[in-house]
Amino acid sequence: MPENIIQVEGLTKCFGDFTAVDAITFTVKKGEIFGFLGANGAGKTTAMKMLIGLSKPTKGMGSVAGFDIAKNPEKIKKRIGYMSQKFSLYNDLTVKENIRFYGGIYGLDKKRIRSKTQSILKELNLNDVAGTLVAALPLGWKQRLSFAVSMVHDPEIVFLDEPTGGVDPHVRRQFWETIYEAAALGRTIFVTTHYMDEAEYCDRVSIMVSGKIEALDTPENLKHQFKAKTMDEVFLKLAR
């Protein structure tokens, strides 16, 4: 049985009187593609920010890659990658400079940065635009580059916060192919989305409704459990 790389128990985050995340409990296995689903405002991003050390939990416990999220957030940061829903590469740097910068602040040495740059440019077919400012790239390319850069330090887990927002279905499909490639290398993928069709691509999904996890299983089992044909139907039944 594979070990649990993420373990969360009763994790809660309150902003004043408002409870954004309400005592959620779940585990993610090593190597899994874990879909973290929910409507806008259900608390997905807040929950994820507690896991990656951007937000302090109000209550509850959690560990990521073997470290406590409240006590050792900086140790976790070495082992995880993160791609936020806001595009977060530097638009005024070139493709190459962005890779070098993020490689550099993750503490990679020069040689490693050079080889990483080459492999990313090759995999994403970006060799022709290596010296182009990122601002000039189409959104779909930016997102794939951003995903690749979030893994520049070979993290064990990658957290993706609505990575495919704002692009057409074709580009979304392409993006998911790169996610599969990353998972094939043994990386754990933790991905939030509100596109229910994307849920079908995940090994297991959890569905969050107003701060609580209402369902957690494989897409197949969930459809069976809720007597639904698609994940969309499952979601609509839960949200009601």
Binding positions for other proteins, rule: CB under 8 A: 49, 52-56, 73-75, 77-78, 80, 82, 84, 86-93, 97, 100-107, 109
Pick 86 or 227: Cβ nearer other proteins = 86
Pick 109 or 128: Cβ nearer other proteins = 109
**Pick from 9, 32, 28, 45: which is nearest to 160 by CA?**
45
All residues at 6 or more sequence positions from 67 whose CB lies less than 8 Å from its CB, including other chains:
73, 75, 76, 79
Supply the minimum distance, in Å, between the C-beta of residue 86 and other proteins. 3
Pick 48 or 215: Cβ nearer other proteins = 48
Three-class DSSP category at 195: coil
Residue 54's CB: how many other CB atoms inside 10 A? Answer: 14
Supply the minimum distance, in Å, between the C-beta of residue 43 and other proteins. 15
Supply the minimum distance, in Å, between the C-beta of residue 6 and other proteins. 15
Question: Rounded distance, CA 33 to CA 5, Å?
Answer: 12
Pick 52 or 148: Cβ nearer other proteins = 52
**Pick from 118, 196, 179: which is nearest to 143 by CA?**
179
Supply the minimum distance, in Å, between the C-beta of residue 19 and other proteins. 16
Please count the residues of the chain. Answer: 240
